Amino acid sequence: MRRLSHAPKVGVRQLASSSRFRTAGCLITEGIHMRTSRTLRRVAIVASAGLLASGGLVAGTLPAYAGHGPGYGHGQGKGPGHGHGHGHGHGHGKGKTLPEAVKVNKVIDHLEAFQAIADANGGNRQSGTPGYEAAAEYVESKLRKAGYDPVRQPFTYDQFVEGSTTFEQVSPTALPYVVGTEFDVVEYSGAGDIAAPIEAVDVNLEGDRASTSGCEAEDFEGFTAGSIALVQRGTCDFRVKVENAAAAGAVAAVIFNQGNGEDRSGLLLATLATPQVSIPTVGTTYALGETLALASAQEEVTVRVAVEATTRTVETFNVIADTRKGNPDKTVVVGGHLDGVAEGPGINDNASGSAAILETAIQLANSKGTPQNRVRFAFWGGEEDGLIGSTHYVEQLTEAEIQQHSANLNFDMVGSPNFVRFVYDGDGDAFGTAGPDGSAEIEALFTEWFASQGLASAPTEFSGRSDYKAFIDAGIPAGGLFSGAEGIKTEEEAAVFGGTAGEAYDACYHSECDTIENVNVEALDQFSDAIAHATASYADVKKHPGKGKGWGHGKGHGKGKAHPHPWHHSFGKHDGR
């Protein structure tokens, strides 16, 4: 999962006034999560080539969410209704459902392979490195063994490369600041070593701290050219703030966190997106920004911002594999990013999502069931550099192909040690920003699946931090799951989901310690089940006649409940493995 490039809505509501956590009967809300560690990310595609061997990219209208909960299937008694009975109803038979077939120990096997690959390749699987190539080869080999024909979709982009960074107060008192704690470079910062007076721009340090600081050129009226601009997070993209500052004559920029909530008080780590801006830029905590704003209002405060940074051209690729059967006019893309950050092996972020998707693909092929809708499994490259692979994929589609896509299911971080079962807020009822039509049904599919298993879930915002972004920007319905990154678990969340309040969902996010020991197996198991359930639901799998293996037609009188959507399939009560 990448850094933020903008200021999305957040807000942790009070338990008494909200019911955002979804359980079998209880709710609360959560805010979105910011990045907390340096990485070489956020990039631009400068060239691309290569058509998928499988041909055009296709799909169709989004179906409603699939059946869920206990019961054997749809329909009652004998006849063609879906049921565990005679006729043509689709029931369990003696075979397994896809969630039952996707075993967590197999997912862990893939994680161990990704860990070994990172260990053998400089400690990471970053795009454009031997570690990424080896990870892709592993995925391709497993897909081929399962009967898929994986293909590579190549692309080229500029990758941000950070050197040393310094931020310090020069006068009236010399005071160094701590990188990684009080400040950090903003990705795609310009390079330079600047010492100059700092000047606050339209900041708001009171009340709810609503901020539009730096979002308009007018905010810089009276700004002294040759100064360093101090701007506050809020409302617009960080790049807009920095470009407005540069246009007003700022020689560097300091962006401090907004301070309007627990999730907007700590260290601000962000990206400006490519290309590099013209002035050095760092992000800070709210506390440091507030201190500088108040001090500079009383007397001249001189600070130094020094950033060493450049970009390099990276050639990499996505790995894509289609089911052999299924309507190509109703393709659902099931994806997650395969790359990791430079700082570590990236096992939770996002080997966990890749492993769960890979095992789902394998078991779907092994089931011998026939998807009525084509499933395209996608392992994206360049996500940590700015969602590059998924953006490239969508940008290559014609308008007709975009209209054919049914949905994108995105899985980025599904094994956080201090996890919450976050589901993307497709209907917008929690954060006010809905996905394209059909996204609400995807959200409902996940929340109702978790509820059917007796598990709580909570909404998380479509903040644009993961690979679904290009899909929703193109109007393609999207949704997915997320177990939490650097955000801090609240007391309310700990009461509902367990774990430790006041600590990060994943304290090893984007760091060297994101190893296989960092993964919560309970979370991985539960999320893998949900991924398998959603994949089978949108694939609309039909079963072949069989005796116990695969997903054959059940024998005996139907026991399932009738359902208004005849294409739905219920997967029954999970066995709790």
Q: H-helix or E-strand containing 577?
A: none
CA 369, 572, 481, 440 dihedral sign is positive
Q: Return the DSSP state at 211.
A: -
The answer to whether 544 and 552 are in contact (CB under 8 A) is: yes
Residues 6+ apart with CB under 8 A from 179: 165, 166, 167
d(CA 153, CA 150): 10
What counts of helices (H) and strands (E) characterise the chain?
A: 12, 17
How many whole angstroms separate alpha carbon 530 and alpha carbon 480? 10
383 is catalytic: yes
Residue 415: which of 479, 357, 350, 460 has the closest Cα?
350
User: Using alpha carbons only, how large is the chain's radius of gyration in Å?
Assistant: 24
Within its chain, how far is the Cα of 378 from the centroid? 14
Give the H or E element holding residue 171.
strand 151-171
Q: Is 446 helix (H, G, I), strand (E, B) or coil?
A: helix
- Do the Cβ atoms of 316 and 488 come closer than 8 Å? no
Distance CA 220, CA 448 (A): 49
**Looking at 199, 383, 384, 441, which residue is catalytic?**
383
Per the listing, tokens 């900041």 go with 203
Catalytic residues: 383
